[in-house]
């Protein structure tokens, strides 16, 4: 594949993935809690993995409106999946933390789901999967708007 062909294919497949993934996420969200909204599931997953965060951190990370985050936070708080504690260092802010119960439920679902995913990706060997995951991280990083384009970077070595 030429570079151009790669770029074309990449964009096409991201488009496909984008639309398909909705269903999958919705199914997972329901497994964690019957009333959990799909988008909020993603937020929850982020909190589970990254530990307590502020709303603004999430908005920044996902590059979505803080209003949207605010509503989703309210949603998961209502479901008792997340707790808001005031930030002692800044009284405007709150720290969001996944409740123990939610974490437990989340991990259960994750394990079960990971078995399925692992099966579906059965013909990928570990190294391939590692490369792919790494490239996804790198791809996201490359597209970060704050990030200067690669050619403008002094040292370019974003990641190892």
Partner DNA sequence: GAATATAGTTGCTCACGGCAACCTTCTAGG
Partner DNA sequence: CCTAGAAGGTTGCCGTGAGCAACTATATTC
Q: Supply the minimum distance, in Å, between the C-beta of residue 89 and a second copy.
A: 26
Pure H helices in the chain: 3-32, 38-50, 55-62, 66-78, 100-120, 126-142
Burial bucket for residue 150 (CB in 10 Å: 0-12, 13-18, 19+): exposed
Instruction: Answer yes or no: are the C-beta atoms of 25 and 42 closer than 8 Å.
Output: yes
User: Under the rule (CB under 7 A), what is the footprint of DNA?
Assistant: 19, 22-23, 26, 37-40, 54-56, 62-74, 84, 87, 90-94
Query: What residues have CB less than 8 Å from 83, skipping those under 6 apart?
Result: 77, 96, 97, 98, 99
Residue with smaller CB distance to DNA, 56 or 99: 56
Residue with smaller CB distance to DNA, 40 or 81: 40
Site for a second copy in 107-136 (CB under 8 A): 114, 116-126, 128-136
Site for a second copy in 37-66 (CB under 8 A): 39, 42, 45-46, 49, 61-64
- By the rule CB under 8 A, 14 interacts with a second copy: yes
- By the rule CB under 8 A, 104 interacts with a second copy: no
């Amino acid at each position: 594949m030429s570079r151009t062909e790669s770029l074309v294919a990449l964009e096409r497949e991201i488009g496909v993935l984008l639309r398909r993934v909705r269903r999958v996420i919705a199914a997972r969200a329901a497994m964690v809690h019957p009333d959990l909204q799909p988008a909020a599931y993603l937020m929850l997953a982020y909190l589970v993995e990254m530990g307590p965060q502020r709303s603004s951190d999430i908005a920044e990370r996902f590059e979505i409106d803080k209003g949207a985050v605010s509503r989703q936070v309210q949603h998961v708080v209502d479901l008792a999946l997340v707790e808001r504690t005031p930030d002692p260092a800044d009284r405007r802010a709150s720290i969001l933390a996944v409740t123990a119960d939610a974490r437990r439920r989340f991990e259960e679902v994750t394990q079960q789901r990971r078995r399925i995913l692992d099966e579906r990706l059965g013909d990928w060997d570990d190294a391939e999967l590692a490369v792919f995951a790494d490239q996804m991280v790198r791809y996201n990083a490359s597209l970060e708007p704050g990030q200067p384009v690669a050619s403008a970077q002094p040292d370019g070595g974003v990641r190892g």
